[in-house]
Structure 1
């Protein structure tokens, strides 16, 4: 039975979150991130972030144990060291991907952050599940709680950081580009710490109140960040319509195409564009709109030149596709 539960632990740790990140990626329908980037974030969370989190937690725990003793040091490790080291470790992939032109805005940061958090949760959950295989009932309860709540906590905290990094990527204010991500990281650490505090309190309480409080707070945080994610997607549509309308006035593309490009449900309708080139046309048009918005907000001269060059490349690509489909 233990071997069977060990196998089930692998599936329980990986499958639910893999489908969850697929769903989040699917929701980003205006301009989906390259799936390879999403998988890279997932793998980073499950391997790189886990390794860094463990190593640096231990480095902090050793002197704390020497100074405060085992019990207090263990408590500090759970509610202080783990939130700090794990949130930083999960967020590293966001910084690595930041210079990519594929990383456009808050929506993209949310997706990459969520992927890193879920990757971390996959590995962490497997480690916990595999240690509980001696008791079927205990294993089932652990799988239920960690899958529904602890893993979602990791996703939420990393998504907050990623979304804020994406939001300020092209901001003119250097102060905002520095301090807002730090604030986002801090918010993630606080949420993580509060969740761990409720878990510790639940372990010493005969009542279920600490866990219930933790779940309620986590669900509120998740709901807020998810609503912001949907609002960011809606804002992307506004950007697409605004800047493609401006481009249509210059004659770059037909104005009647804008509705199809800006509305995901309309994109695959027959008759408005050759299906063989439709995907490339939509992709170029959407990126063109995003580059205009990024150029409007950009303050860095080097980034401005890069964006201007990319805008011309995208215009050329759109012209070539339209000439081909006359």
Structure 2
């Protein structure tokens, strides 16, 4: 199943995962008997563990055969089952075999072990045998030592991940250095607050570097949450590497897309500072959407259950809260008199989406789709590449729709609340696009996978179509504007 879920689901899934006991075997199989819990805790069956009680693992997954000797204390033939204690209950894994009256028989069962982020784990397994609904049972414990695999994982992340992260950050530094050299002569109009119109005053506030600090502080709250859940779910030496490498991967493409969007408007280009203001607004919007999404999901889950709540919130709640929190930034910025038309609105909305994608991707890379949860470093790298390239575009394209309507109506009549009308018309469009993306993601999760890697088919196509449309529209609008201005063309 695809793991590209909205921000709130990444965190909620992390909360759920931290509460689960590590599993040494597959989940309960359908059709197996419901054996009373007391059958295991009563320890009335003679069970002797023959296979090792402790295993050491060098890879993310391993298969081992559990072998036990079971003695039938009754005069009737008994069927023995094996169960795993998980979620505070016993879950039957499968059938061990038949044991004749008074017989002592050796039985085996294949166990599939996988790394869950902890160096040492102990699995509690129950063996129960019975007939006619009467069961006797006992408990055995199997230890797992994942230290060798953790050392290998940490070495891989250090040898390959750290240099790659350094390269990405170095490229960003060069890009931003070049942008600074081009924009250092930019002048952004400042006004004295008491002579400004309220809309202009509010727009001036959100473009102030002091307000940027507030927005970054909001993002830092979620970054702290990311770090907390990363370190609580994974051993610290690996957790810190995953957190830092995930952050480097999360910021790279959003900033590249931000600069590309700014440079795309080659004719009457807006100041880069305004693009940065929208980027930081997107960072703040992640916290706003996170709080509302989490509250709504928990409320829905209390009524219909967690799994159904996830689906409902993905399609109906998250698009509304996220697009509203993001799109409001474009509406406020439209209070500036130098806010351009339709293309400026698209680019400002896109910039907000990049700020939002940065924080959301960081949470995703470090908590929901880290190497522990996806099954290895290569799978992690695939997820980071896919989400950075395509999913980041989604947030920009969706909010760009809101910005397009705001810019279009603002250009038609700068005063008179036309920008608000554009916001009220554009916001539903952004919500529908976002909701369709999430719905298609759910559909795409049912598509068969190759080599254990998800093959998303539908939602990236939607994003790419919108993105190409924006590019074509932007080229057309700039060519027309240049031709229509006196003295040009």
The secondary structure found in structure 2 opposite 1:164 is helix
Structure 2 Cα separation of the partners of residues 186 and 226 of structure 1? 22
- What do residues 31-69 of structure 1 show as CA deviations (whole Å, max 9, x unaligned)? 2222211111001102x1101111121232233222222
Structure 2 residues without counterparts, runs of 5 or longer:
1-153, 155-237
Partner residue in 2 for 1:72:
308
1:163 to 377, 389, 404: 404
Once residues 202 and 212 of structure 1 are traced to their aligned partners in structure 2, the CA distance between those partners, rounded to angstroms, is 6
| Post-superposition offset of 1:26 | 1.1
1:182 aligns with 2:427: no
Report the CA distance between 1:148 and its aligned residue: 1.7
Distance 1:91 1:65 in 2: 27
**Map 1:281-296 → 2, pairs under 5 A:** none
Matches within 5 A, 1:232-247: 232-241=477-486
Q: Would you tell me which structure has more strand in proportion to its own residues?
A: 2
> Are 2:360 and 1:119 equivalent residues in the alignment?
no
Give the aligned partner of residue 50 of structure 1. Answer: 286
| C-alpha deviation, 1:198, in angstroms | 2.4
Tell me which residue corresponds to 2:463: 218
Q: 1:236 to 1:189 in 2, by over 3 A?
A: same
Q: Is the 8 A contact 2:394 2:463 kept in 1?
A: yes
| Bigger radius of gyration among the two | 2
- Hey, what's the Cα distance between the residues in 1 that align with 2:455 and 2:422? 31
Higher helix share: 1
1:136 paired residue number: 377
CA distance in 2, matches of 1:63, 1:123: 24
Match of 1:196 among 438, 459, 462: 438
Alignment check: 8 A CA contact 1:198 1:210 kept = no
User: Where does residue 328 of structure 2 map in the other structure?
Assistant: 92
**Partners of 2:473 and 2:434 in 1: how far apart?**
19
Deviation per CA, 1:87-142: give whole Å up to 9, x if none: 11111110111110221211211121110001100110011111214331221121
- Return 5+ residue gaps in structure 1 as ranges: 242-257, 263-326
Superposed displacement of residue 207, structure 1: 4.9
Deviation (angstroms), 1:177 = 5.1
Deviations along 1:5-32, one digit per CA (max 9) or x if unpaired, are: 4322222111222122111111212222
Give TM-score scaled by structure 1 length.
0.68
- The alignment's TM-score, normalised by the length of structure 2, stands at 0.46
Decide whether aligned partners of structure 1 residues 203 and 210 sit closer, same or farther in structure 2, where only a CA change above 3 A counts. same
CA RMSD of aligned residues (A): 2.4
Q: SS in structure 1 opposite 2:458?
A: helix
Provide the residue aligned with 1:40 in structure 2. Answer: 277
Cα offset, 1:174, TM superposition: 7.0
